[in-house]
Amino acid sequence: SHSMDLPTCEIQNLGEIADLVTSVRRSRVRKEKLAEALKKEGYIPKLLQLFQVCENLKDTKALHLLFDIVRGILYLDEATLFEVMFSDECVLDVFGCLEYDPCLTQPEKHREFLFEIAKLQEAIPVKDQELQKKICKMSWARYIRNIILPNPSDFEEGFLSTLTSFIRCSKEEILSLLQKDEAFLLEIFAQLKDEATADERRCELMNFFKEFCAFSLALRTKRDEFLNMLTKLEILPTLEILLGMKNLQVRSTATDILSYLLYFKPSMVQDFAMQEALQSDKGTQLLILIIEQMICHPDPGFGGDNQFMEILCTLIDPENMLDRFSRLEIFAFLDFFYDGCIDILTAPLLAHTSGGSFKKDYSFLWYNLRHSFFLADDYQTAEMLASILELLSFCVKRHKYHMKKYVIKKDLLERVLVLLKSKHKFLALCALRFMRKIIGLKDDLYNHYITMKNLFEPVVNALLDNRTRYNMLNSALLELFEFIRVEDIQDLIAHIVENFSDTLESIKYVHTFQEMKTRYEQGKNRKNQKQN
> Model confidence over 207-233: pLDDT tens digits?
888 888 888 888 787 788 888 888 988
Helix axes 285-296, 379-398, angle to 10 degrees: 140
User: From residue 135, how far is each of 89, 282, 382 by CA, in Å?
Assistant: 17, 44, 44
User: 330-351: buried (b, 16+ CB within 10 Å) or exposed (e) per residue?
Assistant: beebbebbbebbbebbbbbbeb
Across residues 31-58, what is the average pLDDT?
87
| Between 354 and 440, the higher pLDDT residue | 440
User: From residue 292, how far is each of 275, 281, 328 by CA, in Å?
Assistant: 20, 19, 28
3-class SS at 373?
Answer: strand
pLDDT score of 151: 54
User: From residue 48, how far is each of 87, 97, 108, 442, 459 by CA, in Å?
Assistant: 12, 8, 18, 74, 71
pLDDT score of 28: 80
Cα–Cα distance measured from residue 497 to residue 488, given in angstroms and rounded to the nearest whole number: 13
| Between 62 and 365, the higher pLDDT residue | 62
Helix (H) or strand (E) holding 309: helix 304-315
Q: What percent of the chain has pLDDT over 70?
A: 89
Cα–Cα distance measured from residue 322 to residue 330, given in angstroms and rounded to the nearest whole number: 8
Across residues 486-494, what is the average pLDDT?
92
Indicate the average pLDDT of the chain.
84
Is the pLDDT confidence value at 431 over 70? yes
Is the pLDDT confidence value at 182 over 80? no
3-class SS at 181?
Answer: coil
Q: Amino acid identity of 124?
A: I
What fold is seen in the domain 265-450? Leucine-rich Repeat Variant (1.25.10)
pTM for the model stands at 0.75
Q: 242 with 192: CB under 8 angstroms? A: yes
